[in-house]
Amino acid sequence: MRTLRGVVGAIGLSIAITTAVSAPVAYFLVGYSNLAGVLDFQADLNSRYLARYIYSHDALWQYQRVRLAELLEHTNVNKDGVRKRIFDSEGVLVLDEGPDLASPVIVRTSPTVVGGAVVGRVEIETSLQALLWETGQVALLSFLLGFGVFLAVRVLPLRVLDQTLGRLESTNRQLDAAVNNIIQGLAMFDASGRMVVCNRRYIEMYRLSPDVAKPDRTFVILFVIARTPGPSSAMSKSTAPLLKPRLRRGRPPRS
């Protein structure tokens, strides 16, 4: 019973942990993937705008910061949550626009290509705090859901199991009382000659020990013990002649 309770509890705990962990992890991964896709798109779009401008104004484009800032504003989706940087081909910072972002951040970069040559790159970053906050809320709800699943998987089945075992124990007690109230000796054997059940009268008649006359004990063993000289020799005098033919055929007696 303890082993069964432990198995049910382990199953409930594993399902609860899986429920509590999988939902926030999945939410964060999906949110991160979507955010990364948006930033990739913005970085590529800004890089294309910058490439067109450099193609038209090749001379000293790195020093035209006001015009470059105006150019990058065309693709702003959330002005307060995105920071954009432009670097030249040597990695020198040309333009840095946007607020300081709270850590942690996600960064995406796109090269700026003009005439088949890389002349710079556009870098866009945004904070992950909002996503982490939302993931925390999902984690809290998932924990509550996992706790509910744990109760449902562990408590309810065990309650049903206890009720079922209680009914079985009650039935077994009633059967035991009915068998032991029979005035005749009663023993039942299965097809292989192993004892299934016997009553107290059967044990008393053949002077057997309760440790000997127990389920799964073979009829042959009981017969040998009963024929042993001494207090347990009752079977040898009264029933041995009748049982020998059935013993030779490997069949238990009718009790």
CATH no. of 2-132: 3.30.450
Q: Where in the chain is the domain with CATH 3.30.450?
A: 2-132
| Residue 199 in tokens | 């009553």
Specify the pLDDT at position 76. 67
State the DSSP code for 215.
Answer: T
The residue to which tokens 């562990």 are assigned: 154
Specify the pLDDT at position 133. 94
Task: Give the pLDDT means over successive 10-residue stretches in the chain (255 positions).
Answer: 68 82 92 92 89 81 83 68 88 88 91 89 92 93 85 73 79 82 84 84 80 78 64 48 51 49
Specify the pLDDT at position 177. 82
- Please state whether 193 falls in left (phi above 0), alpha (psi between -120 and 50) or beta: left
E strand spans, 2-150: 82-88, 93-97, 105-114, 117-127
Element (H, E) at 189: strand 187-189
CB 136 within 8 A of CB 158: no
Specify the pLDDT at position 2. 61
Select from 221, 189, 186, 218 the least CA-distant residue to 200. 186
Cis peptide before 252, with omega less than 30 degrees from 0? no
Kindly tell me the burial class for residue 236, based on how many C-beta atoms sit within 10 Å of its own C-beta (0-12, 13-18, 19 or more): middle
Q: How far is CA 74 from CA 42, 55, 79, 87, in A?
A: 10, 18, 11, 19
Specify the pLDDT at position 77. 60
